[in-house]
Amino acid sequence: MSERIKLKQGNSFLISGPASIYLCNGALLVIGKKVVANERFIVKKGRSTPVEVLEESIIEVKLGPDARIEQFEQVIPQNWKSSAEIILNSPCPTRALIIGDVDSGKTTFAVYLSNMAFDRGIRVAVVDADPGQAEISLPTTIGYGFLNEGIISMDKIPLESAYFIGSTSPSDAPARVVAGTRKLVDMAISKGAKLIIINTCGWIYGRRAREFKTSLIESICPEHLIAIQRGSEAEPLIKVWESREDTKILRISTSSASRVRSREERREKRETAYQKYFENSKERIFDLEKVTLMHSYYTYGKPLPRPLLEELQKKISTELIYGEIGDVFLFLVGREEPDPAKIDKLKELTSIEEIVFVKKGFEKGILVGLLNPKGSFSGLGVLSHIDYEGRRIAITTPADGDIGVIQIGQLKLDENWREFSKLPPYPI
C-alpha cells in the first residue's frame, strides 16, 4: 500500500529500505542527484538514503518490511559539502581516495561526490576497491566505471573493467588489491577521467591494515585523502601524510545515512550477487597446454614419473595419482588424505620447503577469475573438476569468448552459489 507525504522545502530525510519513492511534484536532492517530478527511485533493503528537499514536494511512498522515513536536521554533513567543493575545484585529473571504518559512510560519500562532479560536467570514474562488498563489480573482485547519469547507489555505475582478488577479504591478498587498484586508476585516467574517486574497504585497525593502506596510498598518490571518522580511528592511517605537500587530507564525519550491517547481511548480499551472476552458466573445458593457471602450484613444476610417484606413495601410505616437483615445492594429488605426520616426515627426508597435498576432487567449487588472451578480466567461474594427468580443467561460468588465464581464488561455493569454505593462498 502506498502513502502520499508532503515535504517542506529545506527539510532533510533519511529513507531506509526496502522502499519505492515516486516524486509527484517538486524537486529533491538524493545523495547529490537531483530528482524531479514524475521520477521514481528505489532504496534497497539494508540501505539508507539521504534526501534533501529542494522545493515543496509530494512523494508517493511504498515501504517494505522494516523500512522507515526519518526526518533529520541535516543528512549531508556540512563538512561533506565543503570537502566536495575543495575536490571539485582542484586541477584535473584529480584522484580522491576515501578511507574509514566499516559502515562509516564511505560508499555514500563516494556516490555524493560523484553526483556533484557529474552535475558539473566533470568526467568522473569511481574505483570500487572493496572485494568483500563490491558494488560496481562482483564479490572477490574490484572494479571501476564511469558515470553516464546521476546515481542513487554505486551499483548503478556500469562496469568498465575489473580485477580479480580471489577473496572477499583484502587481508588475504593485500598486494593484489594494491596492484589492482593502481591498474584500474591508470585505466580510468587513460580513458579521460578528470576525477577518479577510489572507495576502499573498512580494514583500518592493526599493523597489517596500516601497512596495507600505506602501500595503497603510496601506489595511488591521491591529491586528496578523505578520512571518514566517528572519532579519531583513522588518524593512525593518515598521520604520515600530514606533512606531505602533494596530498591534502580532508577529515569528514560519518553521515546519519551510515548503517552498521551484520556479517550475515554482508554474506547474504554477496551470495545474492553470485546467484544472479551464475544463473545462466555452462561448463567449459580448457586445455592447460593453451591456457595458463595463475595463483597455483599445479602446472608450475615438472610432472613426476610413475616410478617416483610409487616410491613416494609408499612413504606416505596413500595412493598418488599425480605429482609435480617445483623449485622449492612438491605438489601431490592423491585419492585419500594422508597422515600429516608422514607428510612432515617426507619433508624432513627430502629437504623440500613446501609439500602440498591435494585430495582428488578437492578442487570442486573453487572460485576462479578468467582473463582473456589480452589479460583483461572476462568474468568469474567455479571449478568443476581437473584431469591432472591430462592437464584439462572444467569450469562452470557464464563467460563467453577466449580465455588466456585462469586465476585460482581462495573461496569455495556450493551448488547453490553460497560461500562455504575459505581456502589458503594457492590452494591447488
Please give the pLDDT value at position 369.
98
Asked whether residue 231 falls in the same domain as residue 170, the answer is yes
In this prediction, residues 230-243 reach a mean pLDDT of 88
Q: Report residue 6's pLDDT band, with 50, 70 and 90 as the boundaries.
A: very high
Asked whether residue 235 falls in the same domain as residue 288, the answer is no
The pLDDT tens digits for 311-353 are 999 999 999 999 999 999 999 999 999 999 999 999 888 889 8
Q: Decide: helix, strand or coil at residue 190.
A: helix
Contact indicator for 166, 174 with CB cutoff of 8 Å: no
Asked whether residue 240 falls in the same domain as residue 105, the answer is yes
* Domain containing residue 10: CATH number: 2.60.120.1030
Question: In angstroms, what CA-CA distances link 332 with 152, 314, 339, 421?
Answer: 51, 13, 14, 21
In the listed set 72, 99, 116, which residue is the last one of a domain according to the structure? 72
Range of 358's domain? 279-428
Asked whether residue 315 falls in the same domain as residue 170, the answer is no
Question: In angstroms, what CA-CA distances link 175 with 55, 213, 340, 377, 405?
Answer: 48, 11, 30, 18, 19
Whole-model pTM? Answer: 0.94
Cell matching residue 406 = 585462469
Cis? peptide before 398, omega within 30° of 0: no
Asked whether residue 114 falls in the same domain as residue 204, the answer is yes
Q: Report residue 358's pLDDT band, with 50, 70 and 90 as the boundaries.
A: very high
Confidence check: pLDDT of 85 > 90 = yes
Strand 195-200 with 329-334, pairing = unpaired
Strand 161-164 with 392-397, pairing = unpaired
Q: Residue 75, class by beta-carbon neighbours within 10 Å (0-12 exposed, 13-18 middle, 19+ buried)?
A: buried
The pLDDT tens digits for 242-268 are 888 889 999 999 876 666 677 888 889
Percent of the chain residues past pLDDT 70, beyond the cut: 99
In this prediction, residues 348-364 reach a mean pLDDT of 93
The pLDDT mean for the chain works out to 94
Asked whether residue 296 falls in the same domain as residue 250, the answer is no
In this prediction, residues 163-182 reach a mean pLDDT of 97
Contact indicator for 278, 396 with CB cutoff of 8 Å: yes
- Of 140, 416, 142, 134, whose CA–CA distance to 281 is shortest? 416
In the listed set 31, 52, 72, which residue is the last one of a domain according to the structure? 72
The pLDDT tens digits for 265-315 are 888 989 999 999 999 999 999 999 999 999 999 999 999 999 999 999 999
Radius of gyration of the chain (CA): 25
Contact indicator for 14, 69 with CB cutoff of 8 Å: yes
**Counted domains in the chain:** 3
